[in-house]
Amino acid sequence: LYLSGRLDFEEKDDTHHHIQLSNTRKRRKLNFDRTAKHVEILIAYDDSIKEFHSDIDIRSYILTLFSYVSHLYSDASIGNNIKIWLVKLVELGKDLSNEIKLTDNAADLLSKFCKWQRNYNIPGTYDAAVLLTRIPLCNKHSKNTTDSKCDTLGITELGTMCNLTSNCAIVRDNGFATAFTIAHEIAHLFGIRHDNDKACLNFNKEQNLMATSLTFDHNHYKWSNCSRFYFTQYL
């Protein structure tokens, strides 16, 4: 886990709490790898996460998830020197949860979360925001949460890492496998497509971290040659 400063847990106000890494910019000057591409991430979590994980330290759980996300981006198969930093961890309080009107409609939730994080972010504070939730993520045509169309694990827009209005993603918590989904959705923000996308037809048919589904017959610990190529193109 790439941490650039000391972790502080502070109560900011009644709408949310946040963990912020203190002295980020100052510490970064002392130990900064200029050959790497540094990506700073905010993670927010809602009441459904608090309720489901009421018997554990949620902060430690999320930091553990992000540690593995960082590990995945450090794997040699990515072919690029990318450092993922967790710079802020935000607990959405009830007022703020109501403000963004949490819903099981994945597209609506993404739109509302992107609007919230756009207003929350001071330009330059972080590069992308990820919301963790336990609610089912359904497509706009499904109203039944038991429907197979509600099995979405994550949603974001493609190639919007540098767009301050849409540099955001929603990830449904699924235990420690959530780390793979977070890494997957962040990659979409870089413009990385699924391994079976037509843009990857010229590469060998690998089903790795950017496979369309999270199944154990795929190698989710590595990046495909297609992902490697498009990371290099984007950066």
Residue ranges of the binding site for Zn(2+): 184, 188, 194
The arrangement of strands across the sheet holding 37-45 comes to 7-11, 16-21, 82-92, 37-45, 128-133, 168-172, 154-156
Check if 51 is active-site. no
Per the annotation, where are the binding residues?
Answer: 184, 188, 194
**If you count DSSP H runs as helices and E runs as strands, how many of each does the chain have, helices first?**
7, 7
Most distant CA atoms of the chain, gap in Å? 52
What is the Cα–Cα distance from 177 to 198, expressed in whole angstroms? 27
Catalytic member of 10, 11, 99, 185: 185
What is the Cα–Cα distance from 146 to 150, expressed in whole angstroms? 7
Residue 74 and residue 2 in contact, taking contact as beta carbons nearer than 8 Å: no
Pairing of strands 37-45, 82-92: parallel
Take residue 141 and report the two structure tokens written for it: 């045509």
Which 3 state secondary structure label does DSSP give 81? Answer: coil
Pairing of strands 154-156, 168-172: antiparallel
Residue 91 and residue 50 in contact, taking contact as beta carbons nearer than 8 Å: yes
What is the Cα–Cα distance from 107 to 143, expressed in whole angstroms? 13
* Amino acid in position 12: K
Annotated catalytic sites, by residue?
185
